[in-house]
Amino acid sequence: MSLILNDAPEARLSETELSAWREIPVAVISDDLNRTGTMAAAIKPVGAGMAFAGQALTVQVMVGDNVALHYAVGFAWPGCVMVVDARGHVDTAVWGGILTCAAKARGVAAVVIDGSVRDVAELRESGVAVFARGVVPNGPHKGFGGSVNAPIQCAGAPVSPGDLVIGDDDGVVVVRPDQMDGLLDRCRARIAKEESFVERLAAGVPSFELQGLPPPEEYG
C-alpha cells in the first residue's frame, strides 16, 4: 500500500467553540444524535479524566504498521484530534511514547486509535488524551504505507478530516459539520432537563414517572 498524504482541512473551529463542546458529555451528544456517530465500546481512554474536543486529522494504517502516523504528526495543528483506523488489530501497538512526545510538541489535543498502544505510563503523564482499543507491548513495523487526511472508519464510526470529535470517560463520538446546527443548544437543554430529573428523583419521584412510561400492567 502506498503512502497518500493530503492537506489538512482548512475550516477550523475557534478555541471558544471547542471549549463549549468540552463541557458537553459524550453520552448527551450521543442521545441527541439518536446514538449515531459513537465509536465502539472497546475504544476507551488509557487513563481517567482524559476529556477532549477537537477536529479530526484522520489516518489509516496497515495492520501492525505505523509509518503513516509519523508523517501524520507533521500535518498536525494545535488542538487537533488524530483519529486512526488501525484496522482494530490489538496484537501490535502502533502508538507509544515517542509518537506521543512528537504529538505533544505539535499541540495535538488527543489521539483515538482503533488498535493498540504501548508505553501507557508515559501516555498517561503526557497531557495528550489517548484513547485506544487495546494495550500491548509489541512494537510496530514501518514500511506498508497508509493515508493521511482522507475519509476513514474508526471503530464503526465514519470520520472525515475536520469532523468534530469529542471524548470523555464514556468513549468517543463524532459529529459531522451538517449535524452541528443547533446541536450545542439542544445538548445544553438536555443537560438542564436531566438536572431537573435528578432534583425530582432526590425528592422521591419514581424514575418511570419522569420517563413518562405507561402503567406496568400495560407491559407483557
List helix spans (H) across the chain: 15-22, 26-32, 67-73, 97-105, 120-125, 183-202, 207-210
Q: What is the mean pLDDT of the chain?
A: 95
Percent of the chain whose pLDDT exceeds 90: 90
For residue 120, give the C-alpha cell: 501507557
pLDDT tens profile 37-58: 999 999 999 999 999 999 999 9
User: Is 152 a domain residue?
Assistant: yes
- 70 vs 213, more confident: 70
Report the number of distinct structural domains present in the chain.
Answer: 2
91 and 189 assigned to the same domain: no
Percent of the chain whose pLDDT exceeds 70: 99
Segments forming the whole domain that contains residue 59: 3-176
35 and 68 assigned to the same domain: yes
Q: If you average pLDDT over residues 206-213, what whole number do you get? A: 89
Burial of 101 (0-12, 13-18, 19+ CB in 10 A): middle
Q: If you average pLDDT over residues 90-119, what whole number do you get? A: 98
The Cα–Cα gap between 61 and 52 comes to 23
133 and 66 assigned to the same domain: yes
User: Is 168 a domain residue?
Assistant: yes
167 and 195 assigned to the same domain: no
205 and 124 assigned to the same domain: no
User: Is 145 a domain residue?
Assistant: yes
159: left (phi over 0), alpha (psi -120 to 50) or beta: beta
78 and 25 assigned to the same domain: yes
User: Is 142 a domain residue?
Assistant: yes
140 and 195 assigned to the same domain: no
pTM: 0.94
